[in-house]
């Protein structure tokens, strides 16, 4: 089954440039604002959208994404509303792939079968569920693949060559290489090591490899994008939202505009990645 992710990745490959994968937190700081941010992403040059599903206990996330999730939950966000937001977005954009990213418990409580049915109806293309390693594939990964939704796995520096095949086995859409051990929002890893890791993973799979964790600027996006099929930016976007919120959560400027400005710059970074590499 060919998904929107597969089509988008093939198109970018033909264009000879990496994808810009942008993460935002659904419901941060409220439903309407988050939807306006989501709509602004493709216009500013994002190729794939990762939609954060807020969770009360985000064990793999740093302070920025933790805070964004809590703002969203405080604003009344639920998984039902996240799926609704995806559907609202889809009404105006049937091309940009949407990947839901988060933790398993809200999905488990929603009910896996019901979740997959509603996710497809809302135009979701892929899932990244941080706390479901391949050992737990029966929970959601296999049912998602059967339902036609990509299950995107994280590979990390601790995923050695022996373990990689297991991690890649049921992965589809793309592989998300987490460029360092640690939580989201940490400092960028050594770019030489990242390039070597991407090459190592590509030795095991034909899937596109996107790299995330620590990318904050257009320059970093350009450097990472020289070797990867995609560059994932999350914390920087979430921070762009936080920066225009006052102490009581009131908006001091338009969050969608702040995000669009950042993403436009990042987009230029990935668009010049291969040109720079060819020099």
**Residues labelled catalytic:** 50, 61
Q: Least distance (Å) from another protein to the CB of residue 73?
A: 6
| Closest to another protein by CB, 40 or 132 | 132
Residues contributing to the site for another protein (CB under 8 A): 55-60, 62, 66, 73, 78-80, 103-110, 130-136, 153-160, 163, 167, 178, 181-183, 186
Q: Least distance (Å) from another protein to the CB of residue 199?
A: 19
| Closest to another protein by CB, 181 or 261 | 181
Q: Least distance (Å) from another protein to the CB of residue 229?
A: 19
| Closest to another protein by CB, 108 or 147 | 108
Tokens of 208: 């596109």
Q: Which long-range contacts (CB under 8 A, 24 or more apart) does 245-251 make?
A: 245/29, 245/71, 249/29, 249/71, 249/74, 251/29, 251/33
| Closest to another protein by CB, 178 or 237 | 178
Distance from CA of residue 56 to its chain's centroid? 19
Q: Least distance (Å) from another protein to the CB of residue 237?
A: 20
Residue 236: Cβ within 10 Å count: 22
CA distance 17 to 271: 6
Tokens of 144: 């998602």
| Closest to another protein by CB, 130 or 195 | 130
CA distance 46 to 260: 9
Bridge-partner residues for 49, per DSSP?
Answer: 22, 98
Q: Least distance (Å) from another protein to the CB of residue 110?
A: 7
Q: Least distance (Å) from another protein to the CB of residue 221?
A: 23
* Nearest C-alpha neighbor of 61 from the set 28, 103, 20, 27: 103
Instruction: Give residues with Cβ within 8 angstroms of 174, minimum separation 6.
Output: 5, 9, 150, 152, 207, 208, 209, 210, 229, 230
3-state secondary structure (DSSP) of residue 124: coil
| Closest to another protein by CB, 194 or 244 | 194
| Backbone CA torsion sign across 134, 2, 25, 23 | positive
Question: Beta strands 19-25 and 175-178: pairing type?
Answer: unpaired
């Amino acid at each position: 089954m060919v998904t929107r992710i597969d089509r988008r990745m093939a198109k970018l490959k033909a264009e000879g440039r990496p994808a810009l994968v942008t993460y935002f937190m659904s419901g941060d700081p409220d439903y309407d604002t988050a939807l306006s941010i989501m709509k602004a992403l493709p216009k500013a040059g994002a190729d794939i959208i990762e939609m954060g599903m807020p969770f009360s206990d985000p064990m793999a996330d740093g302070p920025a994404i933790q805070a964004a999730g809590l703002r969203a939950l405080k604003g009344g966000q639920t998984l039902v509303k996240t799926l609704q937001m995806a559907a609202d977005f889809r009404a105006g954009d049937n091309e940009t792939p949407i990947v839901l990213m988060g933790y398993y418990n809200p999905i488990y409580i929603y009910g896996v079968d019901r979740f997959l049915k509603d996710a497809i109806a809302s135009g979701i293309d892929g899932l990244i569920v941080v706390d479901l390693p391949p050992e737990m594939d029966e929970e959601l990964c296999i049912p998602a693949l059967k339902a036609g939704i990509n299950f995107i796995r994280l590979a990390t520096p601790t995923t050695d060559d022996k373990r990689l095949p297991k991690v890649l086995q049921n992965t589809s859409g793309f592989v998300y290489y987490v460029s360092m051990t640690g939580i989201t929002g940490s400092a960028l890893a050594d770019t030489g090591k990242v390039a070597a890791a991407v090459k190592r993973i590509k030795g095991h799979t034909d899937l596109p490899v996107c790299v995330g964790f620590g990318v904050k600027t257009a320059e970093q996006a350009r450097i990472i994008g020289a070797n990867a099929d995609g560059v994932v930016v999350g914390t920087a976007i979430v921070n762009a939202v936080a920066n225009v919120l006052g102490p009581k959560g009131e908006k001091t400027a338009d969050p969608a505009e702040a995000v669009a400005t950042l993403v436009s710059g990042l987009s230029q970074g990935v668009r010049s990645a291969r040109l720079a590499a060819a020099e």
